[in-house]
Structure 1
Amino acid sequence: MKRILLFVFGLISISSFSQEDAWIFFNAKPNAQYYYDNPLQMLSQKALDRRTAQNIALDIRDVPLHQPYIDQITASAGITVLAKSKWLNALHIKGTQANINALTVLSFVDHVQYANHSLNPGGRKSVTTGKTKPSNKFLDIQANYDYGTSANQVQMLNAHILHQQNYTGAGKIIAIMDAGFPGVNTTTPFQRLRDNGLILGGYDFVHDSPDPYTGYQHGTQVLSDMGGYVSGQLVGTAPDAHYYLFITEDVSSESPLEESNWVEAAEMADSLGVDVINTSLGYFTYDNPNYSYTYDDMNGTTSFVSRAADIAFTRGMICVTSAGNSGSTVNPHIAVPGDAALNLTVGAVNAAEVKGGFSSIGPSFDGRIKPDLMAMGVAAVVATQTGSIGTNNGTSFASPILAGAITSFWSAFPTKTNAEIVRIIKESADRFTAPNNNYGYGIPDFQLALNRALSAPSFTQEKFNVYPNPASDFVTVTCPGESLGSEIVVYNSIGQIIFRQNLNAFIQYIPVKNWSSGIYHYAIASAGKKQNGKIIKN
């Protein structure tokens, strides 16, 4: 009996005194009105202009955290504050379970979420497993740029058509979340960016340093696929965009803090007026297996970073994220934040437009189409930290190739909202009417997108878009900002209402998997007007 008691005490000791990562969420922002009255205290004029252009009002998520709350948590016994998020009104903290739980009695604390899933109410059991490591159309192109060996990855998307029309990303800003950018400040492939003042700055959130030109060169290669320029060898898809370089990934370890680093960087990007965020990172397993995710968590709402990615979209930005490189492993599905509903999650194809075996697959756990789109990520041409031009494999490179093309396309239509841009691009993709879990909606065609956006009145007159049609699992409804709060009602063939829902987000999903095959009718009511149509269920 004594031995058993000693063993139990040992378990209690380990549980009580080991350090845990957690997020503590607050329930208020008492000084919100001050910031509403003085918006330049929380956002730059560039950010405010972006919001105005898309008719997005300021809200409580824009307001900074209440500093006295932060001070009180920081002063609490045994608690270390590692990161903070105004969007989620939360701090990332570290401490023993006992010290963290003691904070829940504070009047301004809403709840605590542990990175260790087993410590949360209803959480799953602790995990004991170890870490898992995780065509002819190109022959007759006369590009204005000498793309050299990078021609394939640009022309696959018809992004060179954008460049020929002088849509090269000018006036738009891209933020890159990555592991480091050594050589960007010195080597030839990035000289054009430097000479034209296109690198606006950056920050190393891992080491709390203003120097982004350090760390691991993964970010350097990612940037090269958007902004790199060596005539005859490599031309990025957004050579005239502006860039912010953020280090959020700690290559020495895998921990949930990297999610919080990403959120801090995304909030900074928002405040600086960024338009597009590229994330060639994904998280599924961590060094502490109790912090790792399972496929069940790939639902867009479980992870801290995925929730923030969707908030970024509501601020008027587009998040482009790599799907992950786990397609041939025991965990073949997308990782966070690629599961976020409003992210454009990107898988990788080769030069023949065939999916790379490593490219992670969908759907999300709740059945949504993922990845969203595809781009070249097998033998993608990149620049390294030494300035040499080579190739690399990974959805890490498919994502920036597409992110740059999206940015160049948006520069052609700067007054369109992020939701409109996403809709047009998805509709241009080669599998749009028949998406699947390997390719999503497929490879977008920016010449088709450009032609439609310039000439088709539906893109300027239609308020809502409902796709794909026919559908099997989900129907996506895009909603302009001024029409948020509208209601969609779906009727069966005899006029019975089978579904109704308020449209409170720019992009929402209607589950149709359990509907019987056939034709349904929908009506969307907005400001006294109605849009009617049909949904065909396969």
Structure 2
Amino acid sequence: MKRNNNTIIVTIIIILIVLVIVPIQMVQANNNNFNSKCLDHYGNKCNQVNLWINFKDKALNINNNNNNNGITNESIKRRLKKNLPIDNALDQEIDENYIKSVLEIDSRIQKRSISRWLNAFSVSIDIGSLDGIENKKQELNGLIEKILSLSSVSNVEEVIKFNGIKQESKLVLDKSNLQVINSNTPKASTKYGDTDYGNSFTQLNQLSIPNAHSKGYTGKGVSILIIDSGFYKDHECLKNVNIGGEYDFINKLNNTQGLDGDSQNVHGTYVLSNLAGNLPGKMIGVAYDSKYYLAKTEIVQDESPIEEDYFIDALEWGERNGVDIVSASLGYSQWYKYWELKGKSSISKAVDIATEKGVLVVISSGNGGYTGVAPPADSNGAISVGAVDETGEWASFSSVGPTSDGILKPEVVAQGVLNYAANSESPSSYSYPSGTSLSAPLIAGVAALVLEAHPEYTPEQVKQALFSTASQANKPDIYKGYGLVNAIKAIDFKLNNQLNSNNISGNNTIPLVPCGYTCAQNQGKCNEYNCFECLAPDIKPHKVKTPISCDGHSVATDQWNGASTISTFHWGVSTLILICVTLLVTN
């Protein structure tokens, strides 16, 4: 009888082990079956897929280098000033042998860019010679399977795409019925004290910037990286910009200005003039005495989407060169649903790493209205900037928050409707473009004035000063966040280590917004077990013992941790195996 019991128990154990192994193999098989968003979106017209190849480690000794991994003295000074580590594994270069082993798999795999921070490099895979979507999927999966077989590779993910600047400009015009107006005719009052701001006065005065200028704050001692399309440096208001460095990441050149009339110059010139322009009577930027690093990453000649890897490459380049602030104006991502956007993309992770290294990153929230704020403005570290008109009213094209996991976005706003800006058509032309692309540089400039006054501030402390003194600091919302910033109030603000009623401080608290209207507008559904999370409509939320309600919660929490079905299943099976083994031993 005892033998029969033992046989039954052993049989049960074998069955349970099979039940454990099979789901694991199924999950692994599913992970290896890569679903390309390019193929899903474009079908047979997708001829090139761009991928991130992520490595498990860097294989090199981070202490065995004599040049600080190419980090400049300026970057070291910034880190020391903010009591941050001078060097760590994220700064270490990727082992070239890892990269070489991937490229040797197939000649169709071509290197695009490298990210030290993500421990990854991006590649393009040419599948254009194949006909039929199934053939392309099969070939792509075969190549990815070979890549994943390398012992150095941890996983593969697709390089996400963004609407290009040309597409974003059309969106603004379509949504707001505004036009770009070429005009040198000054508006009403353009002077503050003895300084004539020309037509740039209104957008600056809304943020009390002329007042800060009058007290001597002009961005001195602060360096700013602008990531954009190209820059017409020959414009009359940009002739004296202090350029610390520049690089064209598209064409691999040390010059970011195209030929006269090149459309690549347009958007970046708008942004640069709002920050660094300095021609009294015509155009004055927010932080005209700052040092600027210019990165050309976006292609605007056609309407094809742009990829995130050039942006990340530029971000790391700027940090190594010691920049204090980044100003970037990107469109919203393609292919991704609202409920997928919660700061987990590669580009958003890179922004968070930059923030951890002491760089304040300012990103336009996008021009998608209720489609929501998307990467990289959805990252925890970034300041996401929305747009208002000159009266302070929300611009209907300005992307609203929160993120799909409830983080308050945008945090602040600035004028983004008919802003005055230098135009690259000629050295003396100006325009009135619109979009959150124009709002972001104004906030980045104000941050530079705050850093000039308080060079020891970390990104979180700059945020606290900006948010706590903004126009609706006591009642933030998903349209304007904390509202319009006030440069002089932010400069004079006294930091505190205590949380105020709206949790505007420190890196340990992130204000949350209950799931609601934005989720519904994007056909998502709110998680019944987590008040702040938006889910896909076909997802069944995991039931938890302690749901997160909106009551009493105003900051991020890790209280809710829904286990996956597979994880829960394994826990139960493991328990049964333990019981069977115990019975076997006792028999």
Task: Bin the TM-score by the shorter chain.
Answer: 0.7 to 0.9
Structure 1 counterpart of 2:81: 53
Other-structure match for 2:229: 179
- Tell me the CA shift for residue 109 of structure 1: 0.6
Corresponding residue to 1:62 among 77, 84, 91: 91
Paired position in structure 1 for 2:214: 164
The answer to which of 384-393 and 340-349 deviates more is 384-393
C-alpha displacement at 1:371, in angstroms? 0.6
Which of 411, 431, 435 is the aligned partner of 1:390? 431
Are 1:516 and 2:551 counterparts? yes
Contact 2:330–2:366 under 8 Å retained in 1: yes
1:224 partnered with 2:273 = yes
* Cα displacement (A) at 1:252: 4.0
> Between Structure 1 and Structure 2, which shows a larger proportion of strand residues?
1
The CA deviation string for residues 160-179 of structure 1, in whole angstroms up to 9 with x for no partner, is 22211211111111111111
Paired positions, count: 434
Aligned equivalent of 2:567: none
1:21 is paired with a residue whose SS is strand
Task: Identify the residue that residue 321 of structure 1 maps to in structure 2.
Answer: 363
Contact 2:332-2:368 within 8 A present in 1 as well = no
Native 8 Å contact 2:224 2:323 kept in 1 = yes
What letter is aligned with 1:310?
D
Which of 45, 56, 63 is equivalent to 1:34? Answer: 63
User: 1:249: how far off?
Assistant: 0.9
Distance 1:411 1:204, change over 3 A: same
Q: In 2, distance between residues paired with 1:201 and 1:116?
A: 27
CA contact 2:191–2:201 (8 Å) conserved in 1: no
Residue 297 (str. 1) matches residue 346 (str. 2): no
Alignment partner of 1:108 is 2:152:
yes
Alignment of 1:82-97 (within 5 A): 82-95=112-125, 96-97=140-141
Once the two structures are superposed, the pairs formed by residues 349-388 of structure 1 within 5 Å of their partners are 349-385=388-424, 386=426, 387-388=428-429
2:111 alignment partner in structure 1: 81
Deviations 1:247-306 (A, max 9, x none): 111224567762100000000000100111000112322xxxxxx2211222011x2211
SS at match of 1:308: helix
Q: 1:99 aligns with which of 113, 124, 143?
A: 143
Give the 3 Å change call, closer, same or farther, for CA 435–28 of structure 1 in structure 2: same
What are the superposed Cα offsets for residues 421-479 of structure 1, whole Å, 9 maximum, x if unpaired? 111111111111211000111111122122224xxxxx2xx4x3435x25xxxx56514
**Structure 2 unaligned spans of 5+:** 1-38, 126-139, 162-166, 172-187, 259-263, 510-545, 558-587
Alignment correspondent of 2:183: none
Secondary structure of the residue aligned to 1:439 is coil
CA gap 1:477/1:512 in 2 versus in 1, 3 angstroms: farther
By how many angstroms is 1:207 displaced? 1.7
Instruction: Answer whether contact 2:338 2:371 (CA < 8 A) is retained.
Output: no
Q: Which residue of 2 aligns with 1:278?
A: 327
Distance 1:139 1:231 in 2: 14
Helix, strand or coil for the counterpart of 1:30?
coil
Output aligned runs, 1:437-516, within 5 Å: 437-453=478-494, 459=495, 462=496, 464-467=497-500, 469-470=501-502, 475=503, 478-479=506-507, 514-516=549-551
> Structure 1 CA distance, aligned partners of 2:91 and 2:387?
34
Q: What is aligned with 1:532?
A: none
Q: Which amino acid aligns with 2:50?
A: D
Which runs of 5 or more structure 1 residues have no equivalent in the other structure?
1-10, 118-130, 286-291, 454-458, 487-510, 523-538
In structure 1, distance between residues paired with 2:251 and 2:553: 56
- Distance change >3 Å, CA 274–CA 27, structure 1 → 2: same
TM-aligned CA deviation for residue 216 of structure 1: 3.7
Cα offset for 1:75?
Answer: 2.3
The 1:61–1:449 alpha-carbon spacing in structure 2 relative to 1, beyond 3 Å, is same
Secondary structure, counterpart of 2:117 in structure 1: coil
Residues in 2 aligned to 1:277 and 1:432: alpha-carbon distance in whole angstroms? 24
Q: What is the SS of the residue equivalent to 2:78? A: helix
CA displacement at 1:233 relative to structure 2: 2.1
Give the TM-score of the pair, scaled to structure 2.
Answer: 0.69
CA distance in 1, matches of 2:448, 2:272: 13
- TM-score normalised per structure 1: 0.75
2-structure distance, mates of 1:293, 1:230: 42
Query: When you count helix as a share of all residues, which structure comes out higher?
Result: 2
- Aligned equivalent of 1:342: 381
User: Which digits, 9 at most, give the CA deviation of each residue in 1:96-136, with x for residues without a partner?
Assistant: 3321221111111111113489xxxxxxxxxxxxx9964xx
Q: Read off the aligned partner of 2:156 and give its amino acid letter.
A: V
Query: Among residues 283, 288, 312, which one is paired with 2:354 in the alignment?
Result: 312
Amino acid at match of 1:152: T
With 362-371 and 59-68 compared, the bigger mean Cα shift is at 59-68
Is the CA contact 1:44–1:271 (under 8 Å) kept in the aligned structure 2? Answer: yes
- The CA distance in 2 between the partners of 1:519 and 1:369, in whole Å, is 10
- RMSD over aligned CA atoms reads 2.9
